[in-house]
Amino acid sequence: MNKYLQCYALFFGLLVLVVLLQIIFYDVPLFSVLNIKNILLQTVSISMMALGLSYIIMSGEADLSFAGMFSLLTVVFAIVANAANYFFIALIAVTAIAIGVNLIIALLVTKLKFSSFIVSIAVMFMANGIEKHLHQQTTLINNDAIKSFSTIEFGLPLVVWLMALVYLVSYFVINKTKFGFDLRVVGENKHAAVEEGINGNKMKISAYIIAGLLIALAASVESTRVGAIYEQGQYYMLPVFAACYIGYSMFTPGRVNVAGTLVGALFLGIIDNFMKMINVASHNVYILMGAILIVSVGLASFKNRSKIVQIKLFSVEVDNRK
Amino acid sequence: MNNQGIPKISKQKTPIISLQMLVFLILILAVFALFTFLTPDFCFLKIENLNNILTDAVIPAIFALGMGIIIAGGGIDLSLGHIASMVAIIVTYLMSRGIEFNLALPILVGLVTAAGIGAVSGLLVSRLGISSLIVTLGMMFLIIGIRQIITGGQSIYINNEAFKRIAINEFGISNLVIILMIVGVLCYLTMERSIFGRKIQFVGANIKASRFMGIDVKNITMYTFILGAVLAAFGGILFAARAGAVQINSVDSNLLGALCIAVFSSVLFGRFKTSGIILVAILISMIGMGMSMMGIKTEWINFMKGLILFFSILMAKFMNFNT
């Protein structure tokens, strides 16, 4: 019983919170069909990035590069889409860049044993620099056909179906296949992975490539929906991290998991949407989001509170014994 | 007495200038020579320019000292730039209210605010066991929200002449450089010449061993965050004095510079080293100045800082100095 409580307490807590909000502010149409569609559409990019980050965290690394890469990719998408006037060319270009960059990060992290944290910060700021340079050329997508991509609907918007598909596949891959099992073992206990004969580097590289694919999809969706996001990448950093770490403390507490990430992303989407509907100023939303992140992670790590988590700058072990 | 089995401690005299410092000084000289030849008419060598380079290095150096202390204690703080912006706003706001404040009170209020924010992050990291990356990311967004409330998002112009005097050039060299020297000496004394500083470095190097040694690991971790936040806030105040006007996000971007300098220095010297941080700050300001004199757009300077971060990890990999 206690185990089930641990796994599902936060989930039902969040559910109750959302329902309570709806009951207290009963005149806000939070759960009207139109608004649900809206919430889902707004969460697509964040939930996809959060899923990508989940893969990387599952493999035992950290990543911040998406904050810079995301806005860079939206700008690139806008430029290519305007030049080529064709959705898939822009999508392919963005995907190639994202996977290429993530592959480079992965190689640096696995082969040269760089600290993934520092590498990703460096990439984040380099992406910022390039983005500022590119931005002078263009921001908005002119082609209406490409813009309308995010408004295609089959009951729900097409991109929402895409997100659902990505999550279903990820859930299956992580929980039901050998690949997913190996990935989790590598992240959980690298010594066990070595004993089991799992190639840890291969797993980490695949995780980075999947994350690259997901961030490219997220950037394409976001730029068709609202145009290129200039210098706003850092504002996506918090929701994405928060989604992962809200998920961290449910279903399988202490591990990042696919279902939890989805619930986290949707919860943040609902809260964000709700705050906008009751006209809370955006800076107050930031305060709330920051508090949610800290509280959710605090709850998750409350059991291990005596242990201080340190961030090591160098995964390089300097051996001074002669 | 049987001394077998106990390794002999060789009494080597520590050289006045370490190998790392020597390599680094050569690097600085090389960069200096490079830019001297690359800029038109050797204008890089002009005395005003050298003065500017030093002055430009001051604020990043103070940020990097704060970041360096936190890194030395085994943490990271992503909210330093935002703390500094917020404090700069608080200080200038209090001054612009025009009540007959002397300078000390607003500055004191600002520094105390920063210490409070640092204490909150430090408490969360040390008492709740949350990764400092997450805590400071959350803190960053809390600050983004809170500082908006103070001014409603408007920028503040500074009319207080006494405050602006902090950043002028009075003795042939900018006052900021003198301030940096004072801060540097204080930092050196606390971090490299006191038991407290040694404890911080020990906790950062091996937290388990330091716990067994009886070091108060939790409080030491918390103090690093307080010190870092106060130093960053001080940097923010100096920025305000220099710029003469503050926007709510004007100091945010200093985070990258601070991280870049602190990581570069701690990779090169293997531990917290005040002189190292200040010299790296001068190097980076030199590169920035040289690039802008060559007519390279400012957005590439960010890119360059990212490259320097890469380069510094590469050095850690291939130049394992025996510290």
pLDDT digits (tens, 9 = 90+) for B197-252: 999 988 988 888 888 989 999 999 999 999 999 999 999 999 988 888 888 778 88
A244 falls within a domain? yes
Residue predicted with more confidence, A49 or A143: A49
Q: Does B261 touch chain A if contact means CB atoms closer than 8 Å?
A: no
Residues of chain B contacting residue A285, judged by C-beta atoms under 8 Å apart: 145
Mean pLDDT of chain B: 83
The residue among A18 and A207 whose pLDDT is bigger is: A207
Structural domain count, chain B: 1
Query: Region A274-290: what's the mean pLDDT?
Result: 84
Closest CA to B145 of B249, B258, B250, B238: B249
Rounded to an integer, the average pLDDT of A130-149 is 73
B 5-64: CB under 8 A from A: none
Task: Provide the pLDDT for residue B321.
Answer: 46
Percent of chain A with pLDDT over 90: 22
Which of A56-60, B58-62, B244-248 is the most confident on average? B58-62
Instruction: Please count the other Cβ atoms lying within 10 Å of the Cβ belonging to residue B144.
Output: 25
**B251 vs B239: CA distance, rounded Å:** 8
Answer whether B114's CB lies under 8 Å from B229's CB: yes
**Distances from the Cα of B76 to the Cαs of A58, A85, A86, B19, B229, in angstroms?**
21, 44, 43, 28, 11
CATH of the domain at A217: 1.10.3470
CB atoms within 10 A of CB A271: 20
Chain B: residue whose CA lies nearest to A312: B74
**Which residues in chain B are closer than 8 Å to A308, comparing Cβ atoms?**
74, 125-126, 129, 207, 217-218, 221
- Residue B19 falls within a domain, yes or no? no
Largest CA distance in chain A: 73
* Residues on chain A touching B146 (C-beta within 8 angstroms): 283, 287
Report the run of H or E that residue A156 belongs to, with start and end: strand A156-157
Residue B33 falls inside a structural domain: no
Closest CA to A73 of A212, A205, A206: A212
For residue B155, being part of any structural domain is answered with yes
Q: Which helix (DSSP H) or strand (DSSP E) does residue B228 occupy?
A: helix B217-243
The letter for the amino acid at A280 is V
CATH code for the domain of B118: 1.10.3470
Q: For residue B316, what pLDDT is reported?
A: 66
- pLDDT, position A126: 86
pLDDT reported for residue B200: 92
Q: Is residue A296 part of a domain?
A: yes
Query: Residue A322: pLDDT above 50?
Result: no
Mean pLDDT on B160-186: 83
DSSP assignment letter at B7: P
The two tokens of residue A15 are: 């559910």
Query: Contacts of residue A60 in chain B, CB cutoff 8 Å?
Result: none
User: Helix H segments across chain A?
Assistant: 2-24, 33-58, 66-84, 87-110, 116-135, 144-147, 158-176, 178-188, 190-196, 200-226, 233-247, 258-277, 282-300
Cα–Cα distance measured from residue A179 to residue B51, given in angstroms and rounded to the nearest whole number: 58
Per the structure, the complete domain to which residue A255 belongs is given by 2-300
User: For residue A132, is it within any domain?
Assistant: yes
CB contact A169 to B (< 8 Å):
no
Q: Are the beta carbons of B139 and A290 separated by less than 8 Å?
A: yes
Cα distance from N-terminal residue to C-terminal residue, chain B = 32
Asked if residue B296 has pLDDT above 70, the reply is yes
Of A264, A214, A256, A263, nearest to A91 by C-alpha is: A214
**Amino acid in position B208:** K
Residues belonging to chain A: 322
Q: What is the pLDDT of residue A316?
A: 40
Encode pLDDT of A217-275 as tens digits: 999 888 888 877 777 777 888 889 888 888 887 787 777 889 989 999 999 998 888 88
Band (B1; pLDDT cuts 50, 70, 90): very low
Identity of the amino acid at A115: S
Q: What is the identity of the amino acid at B37?
A: F
Q: Which residues, listed in sequence order, are joined to residue B246 by a DSSP beta bridge?
A: B156
B244 is in which domain, residue-wise? Answer: 42-317
Which helix (DSSP H) or strand (DSSP E) does residue B108 occupy?
helix B104-128
Task: Please answer whether residues B114 and A211 qualify as being in contact, where contact means their C-beta atoms are separated by less than 8 angstroms.
Answer: no
* Position A90 pLDDT exceeds 70: yes
In a domain, B312, yes or no: yes
SS3 B245: strand
Across the interface, which of A128, A308, A319 has its CB nearest the CB of B217?
A308
Evaluate whether A204 touches A60 at the Cβ level (below 8 Å): yes
Structure tokens at B151: 């001014």
| Own/partner pairs, B108-114, CB within 8 angstroms, 24+ separation | B110/B233, B110/B236, B110/B237, B111/B87, B111/B230, B111/B233, B111/B234, B111/B237, B113/B86, B113/B87, B113/B233, B114/B83, B114/B84, B114/B87, B114/B229, B114/B230, B114/B232, B114/B233
Answer yes or no: are the C-beta atoms of B56 and B285 closer than 8 Å: yes
Mean pLDDT across A155-182: 90
Asked whether residue B306 carries a pLDDT value surpassing 90, the answer given is no
Mean pLDDT score, A158-163: 89
Identify whether A156 is part of a domain. Answer: yes
* Residue A108 or A209, more confident: A209
Tokens of B126: 């040390």
Asked if the structure places residue A314 within a domain, the reply is no
Q: What is the DSSP letter of A149?
A: G
B144 and A283 in contact by Cβ < 8 A?
Answer: yes
In a domain, A312, yes or no: no
- Nearest chain B residue to A291 by CA distance is B138
A62 pLDDT exceeds 80? Answer: yes
Residue linked to tokens 């480079």: A104
pLDDT score at A137: 60
Q: Please report whether residue A232 resides in a domain.
A: yes
The answer to the question of residue A196 being in a domain is yes
- A245 reaches B (C-beta below 8 A): yes
Interface of B with A in 61-100 (CB under 8 A): 71, 74-76
**What average pLDDT does the segment B59-67 reach?**
93
The answer to whether residue B9 is domain-embedded is no
Tokens 């204080």 sit on residue? B186
B230-240 per-residue burial string, b: 16 or more CB within 10 A, e: under 16: bbbbbbbbbbb
B258 interface with A at CB cutoff 8 Å: no
Q: Can you give the pLDDT at residue B194? A: 92
State yes or no: pLDDT of B110 exceeds 50: yes
pLDDT of residue B42: 73
**Amino acid found at B255:** L
Q: Which residues of A touch B301 (CB under 8 A)?
A: 129
Backbone angles phi, psi at B157, to 5 degrees: -100, 145
Provide the 8-state DSSP code for A114: -
Q: How far apart are alpha carbons B61 and A254 in whole angstroms?
A: 38
Q: How many domains in chain A? A: 1
Distance from CA of B307 to the nearest CA of A (A): 7
Q: Are A22 and A270 in contact (CB under 8 A)?
A: no
- Which residues of chain B form beta strands (DSSP E)? 156-157, 245-246
ipTM for the predicted complex: 0.79
